Amino acid sequence: MVDFEQYYPTPPETAEKLLDMVDIEEISNGINILEPSAGTGELIEAWKEAKHRREYCSTDYHGHCIEINPKRAATLKGKGYKVVWDDFLTFNPLMKYTFIMMNPPFREGARHLLKALEICAAGGHIACILNAETIKNPHTNEQKALIAKLDEQEFCEIEYVTAAFAEAERKTDVEVALIHIRKKAAPEICVTFENFKKQIFDRRKQGEKQNGALTRYGEVNALIDRYQAEVKAGQALYDEILNYKKVCLQGTTDQYDYEAVFKIEINGVYDDSRNDDRINIVRKINYKYWKILLYSKELSSLMTSDIQYKYSQNLTQMADYEFNERNILAMKEDLAKNLIHNIEVAIMDVWEEFTSRYTWSEYSKNIHYYNGWKTNKAFKINKKVIIPLNAFDACGDFRPNHRVDGKLRDIEKVMNYLDCGRTEDFEMYRHLSVAQSLGQNRGINTKYFSVDLFKKGTCHLTFKDMDLLKKFNLYCGRKKNWLPDDYGRKPYNKLDDEEREIVDSFEGKESYEDTYKNQEFYLPQNSGLLMLTMGNVKEAGGDE
């Protein structure tokens, strides 16, 4: 007699082995679970026991079962399980399942697993017991299709077990394959947004063709197009949900909002949320894109944390300005106008931090005195600078924190202004993290310094680039009026006695001749010093 149902209850040991392949911690308690061909609930019981044993949740089971045999279906219902269908192969739910555990009929295993892949949610898991021959020796079209489908998934683990059912309630010597699948996740695409984005991009390219000009399509142009698509998509989705809300309330006994499927809640800009949701949508997106621009790599690389904080205070005001070419240009001009002053302040602040701020104790080693212009109290900083900066925890372990990284990064940005792009970038935090992993707190290589961090709470910075150090001293010495305004503008042999005395005290004849020869680098006017900076601001602000 042929056993058409092919019903072989899952032995506890096999059920446990199958579910051990699944990371219970990853599959949370709130997921949507299904066991097709559930029999009398052997896999369900094993799942509940595993969850209870590992204490990740209670033993309550909120999943669904499918069972074609009426008697076994009645048994499942008697145990409190929800039997939602009979024949699994005809099951076509609107709701996808995030975890499916199954022991399908051996003869129909390929067809059942293909069905499970069809109704499993993207990114969901399947734990399945199959006849090993289905995988090892696929000869039917369905088995071959299954093998192809398994290759498409994000993850597929197979473990072969012999004699898994040798001591079962119904015995068989069939070798089985225990399979754990993670279904390939669906791409995160908002169709409404993508449609608007394509329309806007096509319109821009069409406009370029009509004007007969080929405009450079840079990052800012792409950002503007994305902004416009996001605003249009946000408004369209808001209207669609609002209209759907009216549809889903039709036929209810009342028209109160709590009967609706969706509740619309707009996260407005925190300065003052308007009563109009559509306005709040636009203002929130405006705020977001101005923030993206402010914290973009091009602009953030130009700003110390203090400068960036000052500009971030104006972001809420920018929420009323659309993110378009005209407003970006206006922001760029305002930024350019104020950035020069802010950078001068930042350079002098680091100078103060390296010099007069720490003239006591060992920090006095930071400075070297020289005879300045009309004063003998002038000084410049040495190759090695000591500042208070603690990178160790209470136990004395070397653990660079965000304060250490932030301080060193701010100093680095100030040096960037003076360096004008000569030195290749470093990822400061990554270098500190590598040093920590190696237990290295001395000789840490950064963009401009070799860094030594000590348990007593000090940090030693040693300049690697002597030309940059000289430029730093020249810039700050002139700002302090310790060097004449025309310092370095004429050759050494043209200097009078007083000027020569200052040069000799500050850097000496040979170094001065290098300063005179390379005054474009060492002694730029503000516009020259910040040429690279302003170029970056223009690039970040779009083409003129």
Q: Is residue 378 in a domain?
A: yes
Q: Are residues 227 and 142 in the same domain?
A: no
- Assess whether pLDDT exceeds 60 at residue 4: no
* Residue 321 clears pLDDT 90, i.e. is over it: yes
How far, in Å, CA of 306 to CA of 349, rounded? 11
* Nearest by Cα to 531 from 320, 357, 302: 302
What angle is formed at CA 90 by the lines to CA 85 and CA 94, rounded to 5 degrees?
Answer: 70
pLDDT average, residue stretch 176-192: 92
My answer on whether 397 and 454 are in the same domain is: yes
Contact (Cβ atoms closer than 8 angstroms) between residue 417 and residue 341: no
Q: What is this structure's pTM?
A: 0.63
Residues 204 and 149 occupy one common structural domain: no
The pLDDT tens digits of the residues spanning 9-59 come to: 899 999 999 999 998 777 765 578 999 999 999 998 898 888 777 655 444
Residue 5 lies in a domain: no
What integer pLDDT is reported at residue 264 of this predicted model? 84
- Give the pLDDT confidence score for residue 120 in this predicted structure: 95
User: What is the per-residue pLDDT across 447-497, written as a single tens digit (0 to 9) for each?
Assistant: 999 999 999 889 999 999 999 999 999 999 999 999 988 899 999 999 999
Q: Quick one: 110 and 255 in the same domain?
A: no
Q: How far apart are CA 412 and CA 138, in angstroms?
A: 62
Domain stop point among 140, 162, 182 = 182
Q: What is the pLDDT of residue 507?
A: 95
Sequential DSSP letters for 81-107:
-EEEES-GGG---SS-EEEEEE---GG
Last residue of a domain, one of 130, 158, 182: 182
pLDDT of residue 3: 46
Confidence of residue 2 (pLDDT cuts 50, 70, 90): very low
Say if residue 252's pLDDT is above 60.
Answer: yes
Token output for 469:
């150090």
How does residue 211 score in pLDDT terms, banded at 50, 70 and 90?
low
Provide the number of structural domains found in the chain: 3
What is the tens place of the pLDDT at every residue in 120-133?
999 999 999 999 99
* Full domain range(s) for residue 225: 189-265
- Strands across the sheet with 155-161, in order? 82-85, 64-66, 33-35, 97-102, 120-131, 176-182, 155-161
State residue 541's pLDDT score.
44
Q: What pLDDT was estimated at residue 346? A: 85
Write the CA distances from 511 to 97, 431, 515, integer angstroms.
75, 33, 6
Length of the chain: 544
Residue 533 — very low, low, confident or very high, per pLDDT cuts 50/70/90? Answer: very low
| pLDDT tens profile 324-373 | 989 988 887 777 777 777 788 888 999 988 986 655 677 788 999 999 98
Same-domain status, 174 and 197: no
Residue 334 lies in a domain: no
In a domain, 347, yes or no: no
Q: How many other C-beta atoms can be found within 10 angstroms of the C-beta atom of residue 129?
A: 27
Please report whether residue 174 resides in a domain.
yes
Q: Which of 266 and 272 is assigned the larger pLDDT?
A: 266
Does a structural domain hold residue 405?
A: yes
Give me the pLDDT at residue 255, please: 60
Q: What is the pLDDT of residues 64-100, one digit of tens each?
A: 999 999 999 999 999 999 999 999 999 999 999 999 9
- In a shared domain, residues 138 and 235: no
Tell whether 371 and 396 lie within a shared domain. Answer: yes
CB contact at 8 A, 299 and 536:
yes
Report percent pLDDT > 90 for the chain. 48
Residues 178 and 193 placed together within one structural domain of the fold: no
The last residue of one of the domains, among 151, 182, 213, is 182
CATH number of the domain encompassing residue 32: 3.40.50.150
Same domain, 231 and 365: no
- Residue 470: inside a domain: yes
Say if residue 19 is in the same domain as residue 105. yes
Cβ count near 282 (within 10 Å): 18
What is the residue-averaged pLDDT of the chain?
Answer: 85
Q: What is the distance between the alpha carbons of residues 35 and 301, in angstroms, rounded to a whole number?
A: 54
Task: Please tell me whether residues 162 and 202 are part of one structural domain.
Answer: no
| Per-residue pLDDT, 59 | 45
**428 and 517 co-located in one domain:** yes
* Assigned domain for 222 exists: yes
